[in-house]
Amino acid sequence: MDEQAVPALEVQGLGKSYAEGRRRRVVLRDVTFAVAPGECVALLGRSGSGKSTLLNLLAGIDRPDAGAVRIMDRSITTMREPDLTLLRRRHIGFIYQFFNLVPTLTVAENLALPLELNRIPAARRRERIAELLAKVGLDGRDGAFPDQLSGGEQQRVAIARAIIHDPALVLADEPTGNLDAQTGHLVLELLSQLFRDEGHTLILVTHSREVSAIADRIFAVEDGQLTEHTEALSW
Ligand SMILES: Nc1ncnc2c1ncn2[C@@H]1O[C@H](COP(=O)(O)OP(=O)(O)O)[C@@H](O)[C@H]1O
Ligand SMILES: [Mg+2]
């Protein structure tokens, strides 16, 4: 990582536990790492290892018990809720396993949402929506509803939605987890190409073995801790 650049994301001593009956279940302990602007970091771990919990803490959707998260050199851990909402709206994009498109809105309307929240004028919104639809290979599908699209197409819309407002940080939680292998491969390829073109910083949670081809660095999530893979993956 460039020593001069302010990290896009900086995580220091992050801890999170949940109450389980009278005990506490520790999900993350002392997680520390930093991600440079434009970097792609993959998180690999078994189901239940705390990957989604970590992403939710990074996005400020959930609050940690210990430690701090800085996004573009601003601490989100101490931020008040309205400021956090603004920061998330402007600087973070989220891609989910189950796409999470609004079913009652068309493709174009789904893509307009992040732009409307950021008060982008209608003419610019239309331009940007057309630009992104072309980039994800869905030209002319702007009037379709999500249930008229295949899973792979829905995920391509969700990817477009996550980056349409040009966020500093894109968080993807198993974006290919609900797709067949071939579709997942294409979606991953698209994601990789888009984020290189547009210069986003990407944190990618995935089970996919192909991830090593697109990630700059890979971390394993295990027993609540993050370990960086320093050698090529054995599998
Ligand atoms: N809101 C919650 N309340 C209690 N336990 C939770 C909550 N969210 C997650 N957990 C627990 O934390 C652990 C990690 O969950 P999660 O982050 O979803 O894992 P992953 O995304 O790696 O599959 C699991 O044991 C899960 O049961
Ligand atoms: Mg998860």
Instruction: Report the phi/psi class of residue 73: left, alpha or beta, with left for phi > 0 and alpha for psi in -120 to 50.
Output: left
What value does the CA radius of gyration of the chain take, rounded to a whole number of Å?
Answer: 18
Residue 2 included in any domain: no
Residue 234 included in any domain: no
> Interhelix angle for 122-135 vs 107-117, to 10°?
130
Residue 205 CA to residue 174 CA, distance in Å, equals 5
- What is the structure's pLDDT at 196? 83
- Which tokens belong to 210? 């192909």
The CB of 49 under 6 Å from ligand 1? The reply is: yes
Q: How many of the other CB atoms lie within 10 Å of CB of 10? A: 17
Q: What is the CATH number of the domain that holds 199?
A: 3.40.50.300
**Are the C-beta atoms of 202 and 43 separated by less than 8 Å?**
no
From 16, 27, 51, give the residue whose CB has the most ligand 1 atoms within 8 Å, as the site to mutate: 27
Main-chain phi, psi angles of 233, to 5 degrees: -65, 140
- What is the structure's pLDDT at 157? 97
Name every residue whose Cβ is closer than 8 Å to that of residue 44 and which is 6 or more positions away in sequence. 205, 206, 207, 211, 218, 219, 220, 221
Residue 113 included in any domain: yes
Domain that holds residue 77: 9-228
Residue 175 CA to residue 29 CA, distance in Å, equals 25
Residue 189 included in any domain: yes
The one-character DSSP state at 198 is: H
Residue 3 included in any domain: no
- Which tokens belong to 39? 């970097």
- What is the structure's pLDDT at 40? 93
Residue 4 included in any domain: no
- Which tokens belong to 178? 């609900």
Taking the centre of ligand 1 as the mean of its atom positions, its distance from the CA of residue 50, in whole angstroms, is 6
- What is the structure's pLDDT at 4? 61
- What is the structure's pLDDT at 160? 95
Residue 88: what residue type?
R
pTM comes to: 0.92
Residue 233 included in any domain: no
**Residue 139 CB-density burial (10 A; 0-12 exposed, 13-18 middle, 19+ buried):** exposed
- What is the structure's pLDDT at 235? 47
The one-character DSSP state at 148 is: G
Q: Which residues pair with 72 in a beta bridge?
A: none
Q: Collect residues with CB below 5 Å from ion ligand 2.
A: 51-52
Residue 196 CA to residue 39 CA, distance in Å, equals 9
How many domains is the chain partitioned into structurally?
1
Q: How confident is the chain (235 residues) per 10-residue block, as mean pLDDT? A: 75 95 93 95 92 95 95 92 93 93 98 96 97 94 97 95 94 92 89 86 85 85 89 54
The CB of 82 under 6 Å from ligand 1? The reply is: no
Residue 51 included in any domain: yes
